[in-house]
Amino acid sequence: MSKKTKLGMVGGSLDAFIGEVHRKAAAMDGKFELVCGAFSSSPEKSKKTGEALSLDSSRVYGSYKEMIEKESQLPENERMEAVSIVTPNHVHFEPAKLALENGFHVIIDKPITFSLEEAKQLKKIVDSTGNILALTHTYTGYPMVKQARHMVATGQLGKIRKIYVEYPQGWLSTPLEDEGNKQASWRTDPEKSGAGGAIGDIGTHAANLAEYVSGLNITQISADVNIYVENRRLDDDSAALLKFENDASGVLMATQIAAGEENDLKLRVYGEKGGVKWIHSDPNSLHYKTLDGPYQTLRAGTGYLADSIAKFTRTPAGHPEGYLEAFANIYLEFHNAVSDFKNGNFSSIEDYDFPGADDGIRGMAFVDTMLESNKSETKWTPFKK
């Protein structure tokens, strides 16, 4: 039985949203022990967060640089082994770089970095150090998303022809960034979020999900990117026609001004023989249709799913699992990779089912290609590499 992975955290103070999500996900299967953290750029706020989490005060740090430096000096059996980075986008690259270069593995919230250039640099550091980097594209963690991917990969749908993915939200329909909303403020600030607003925040999720399930990379984009809320500095709405490998085509929509919508992510993939549909609001179901067979609804936790799906479900059929469990599945696979690395059994990230640095690069390239296509007068823009 593998030991717990000792985890440090950068960001995720008490008033942050995503930090607590990561902590819950890491704790769910008992595979991680949070041992230290630099939870805020404010040393006082970091200290208060550490106290609330009952951490040893000597291992609650005022900055990520201090944390990585001091943890590196601890005996191997005491120091953290991996770092969870849950900061706004502009504070992804430097702590990830420093952690990897000091021998620590990294799990990082998406998008991977502030820019495509940074993402490519980080991939080089991953390759040169040999350490592991996981990216929390959450929706790849859902068991029925993995089942859909399995069905595509094993040819049950035939050659893929059409892919539709949509991610409507409504929470930025008004200028929340002008009302002191912390989440809205940094996500709409180009100096903190990067070049993309909605396309970086949720468009990257939609593009990643389409590629993950279909097994096909996007090759060309024809995009329409908009800003609807007056004086907003980054996009809040987008749509695109897509071209994939193997002549498949698709449609992507990602918007944060669909008033009334929550996180209504949907994916449909159609091949020559049939199609599948997954809806985030009913994540335990996968809808399967064929040309000459009955409409089927496959359910999580059942014995008829692919054998590889079983380890990603924790409860019997009919007991709902959702967002936190999907997050936890990425942490679970990350732990397995780190544990194998520690025991000398790690060979390749391809042996584990979680997004990595290459997915992160494609996410940043998606943002840049969407923006370039939106400005272009030609119909199709080649996907950046």
Give CA separation, 197 vs 24, 225, 365, in Å: 27, 10, 14
- Architecture category of domain 140-317+363-375 in CATH: 2-Layer Sandwich (3.30)
Nearest partner of 138 among 166, 108, 168, judged by Cα = 108
Helix (H/G/I), strand (E/B), else coil: 38: strand
Pairing status of strand 285-290 against strand 237-244 = unpaired
Q: What is the CATH number of domain 5-139+329-355?
A: 3.40.50.720
For position 70, what pLDDT does the model report? 98
180-201 residue pLDDT tens: 999 999 999 999 999 999 999 9
Calculate Rg over the CA atoms of the chain.
21
Whole-angstrom Cα distance, residue 15 to residue 154?
44
Q: What is the percentage of the chain residues whose pLDDT exceeds 70?
A: 99
Q: What's the pTM?
A: 0.96
For position 2, what pLDDT does the model report? 64
> Is the confidence at residue 1, as pLDDT, over 60?
no
For position 384, what pLDDT does the model report? 86
200-247 residue pLDDT tens: 999 999 999 999 999 999 999 999 999 999 999 999 999 999 999 999
pLDDT, mean over the chain = 96
6-27 residue pLDDT tens: 999 999 999 889 999 999 999 9
Per-domain residue ranges of the chain: 5-139+329-355, 140-317+363-375
- The encoded tokens of residue 103 equal 């021998």
Q: What is the percentage of the chain residues whose pLDDT exceeds 90?
A: 97
- Label residue 293 by pLDDT band (50, 70, 90): very high
Same fold flag, 5-139+329-355 and 140-317+363-375 = no
Contacts of 277 (CB under 8 A, 6+ apart): 266, 267, 268, 286, 287, 289
335-376 residue pLDDT tens: 999 999 999 999 999 999 999 999 999 999 999 999 999 999
